[in-house]
Chains A and B, each alone.
Chain A
Amino acid sequence: MTLNQLGVGRKATVKKVYSESAERRRMLDLGILPGTVVETVMSSPLGDPVAYRIRSAVVALRREQAELIEVQENFTADEMESRG
């Protein structure tokens, strides 16, 4: 899944960053790297952009940016169990 699909309050681990050139640099500088844990904090009134917690900072990204960040959702032990 990509970051924009991560629900509010959910956490995920970054797998790959597909952004390119200047945008890629910006994302990397913010600390969005493979292995980084991110959390969706809230979405703006019109649904886009969405704010994520990244390395303790809250950073808003537009859908176009979030779509290029592949993540894997983190589940707690309980959730894993209930999913079977």
Chain B
Amino acid sequence: MSVYVETATAAKECGACPSTSCNTAHLTRLGIKMDDWDYVVALAGNPNTGKSTLFNAWTGLRQHVGNWNGKTVTRAEGALRYNDRKFKLVDLPGTYSLLSMSVHEEVARDFVLFGRPDVTVVVVDANRLERGLHLVLQTLEITDRVVVCLNLIDEARRNNLKIDERALARDLGVPVVPTAVRHGEGLPELLRVVDEMAQGRYPTRPHRLNYRDAALEAAVAQLAGQLEGMFPGLPNARWVALRLLENDESIIRAVREGTLGDLQRPDAFPELMQLEAR
């Protein structure tokens, strides 16, 4: 992991305040006030890993949380200000994979793929690490700007699990921040890393999947080339190519109807409800 550079303002403001609240001192929860923003941050991850809990902690909103998989089925948006920058935070339904296709999982997949978030925070359950990494590795195929939130670390401690987050960060090539979101543990650090990542000040070397298959690699390269020609600026042609190879009907439909480009517009989700104004 690279070394963080404390910003000058942070250091100044920090001078007086007690150590734990220090980093949250310049976090302002803005609720649903989102007329403009500097960065969009997506919260993705397996179901029931604490995404909505994190969303609530940072926006001051009260998105419903519950201890079962599938509590969140629509996209919710909120805002926060950190130092002088405004972030739009997007809480997504939980998903096991970016390859699957139930309605609520598609919401998550489409946003990560085409919503062009500046940072994607993948919330991972420290007690079920392999499954979380399955999603992290897929996300890294799409975007470099990933921060892994290694959540439920309190439960991991109770289960006598020791997780070396530095080894993880080294292997994944992106920052990993251990947290217990529900107890506020690790949140200031996470926010700082997200902020740096958003500004592009965080060098990443994302882990590249090894499909161990030359024919597949060649096929993906060929299709991706064609796609980039047809949809200039498509951010993740390789991934779309893979989906086409897999005969993913919703992606084929999007290509046919020319909506692949539309999906890049952040407002292209008419069926999704925003969190009610409260």
Contact B100 A26 (CB under 8 A): yes
Alpha-carbon distance A57/B47, docked complex (angstroms)? 12
The answer to whether B97 touches A29, judged by C-beta atoms less than 8 angstroms apart, is yes
Q: B residues 108-155 with Cβ under 8 Å of A?
A: 127-131, 134
For chain A, residues 46 to 69, give those with C-beta under 8 angstroms from any C-beta of chain B: 55-57
Q: Which residues of B contact A7 (CB under 8 A)?
A: none
> In whole angstroms, what is the CA distance A56 to B127 when docked?
7
Residue B11 at the A interface, CB < 8 A? no
Q: Which of A22, A29, A56 contacts B96 (CB 8 A)?
A: A29
11 A-B contacts, Cβ less than 8 Å apart? Answer: A25-B97, A25-B99, A25-B100, A26-B96, A29-B100, A29-B134, A30-B96, A30-B131, A55-B131, A56-B131, A57-B131
Answer yes or no: A34 CB below 8 A from chain B CBs: no
Q: Which of B130-183 contact A (CB under 8 A)?
A: 130-131, 134
Which listed residue, B99, B127, B129, touches A29 by the CB 8 Å rule?
A: B99
B101 contacts chain A at the CB level, 8 A cutoff = yes
How far is B85's CA from A36's CA once the two chains are assembled, in angstroms?
45
Chain B minimum-CB-distance residue to A26: B100
Q: Are A55 and B128 in contact (CB under 8 A)?
A: yes
Distance of B210 from chain A, by nearest CB (Å) = 16
In the complex the two chains form, what is the Cα distance from A56 to B129 in whole Å? 9
User: How far does the alpha carbon of A49 sit from the alpha carbon of B42 in the complex, in Å?
Assistant: 35
Q: Do A31 and B134 form a contact, CB below 8 Å, given A55-B128, A56-B127, A57-B128?
A: yes
Number of interface residues of A (CB under 8 A): 9
* Shortest Cβ gap from B245 to chain A (Å): 14
Chain A residues within CB distance 8 Å of chain B? 22, 25-26, 29-31, 55-57
Q: Which residues of B contact A56 (CB under 8 A)?
A: 127-131
**Contact partner of A55 among B99, B101, B130, CB < 8 A?**
B130
**Most-contacted residue by chain B among A22, A29, A31, A56 (CB, 10 A):** A29
Nearest 5 A/B pairs, CB to CB: A29-B97, A29-B96, A56-B128, A55-B130, A57-B128
| B159 nearest CB neighbor, chain A only | A56
Q: What's the least CB distance linking B153 to chain A, in Å?
A: 15
| C-alpha gap A57/B126 in the complex (Å) | 11
A66, chain B: closest CB distance, angstroms? 18
B100, A31: Cβ atoms under 8 Å? no
Kindly state the separation between the CA atoms of A26 and B131 in the bound complex, as whole angstroms: 13
Q: Which residue of A lies closest to B95 (CB)?
A: A29
A33 to chain B, nearest CB (A): 10
CB distance from A48 to the nearest CB of B (A): 20
**Nearest A residue (CB) for B97:** A29
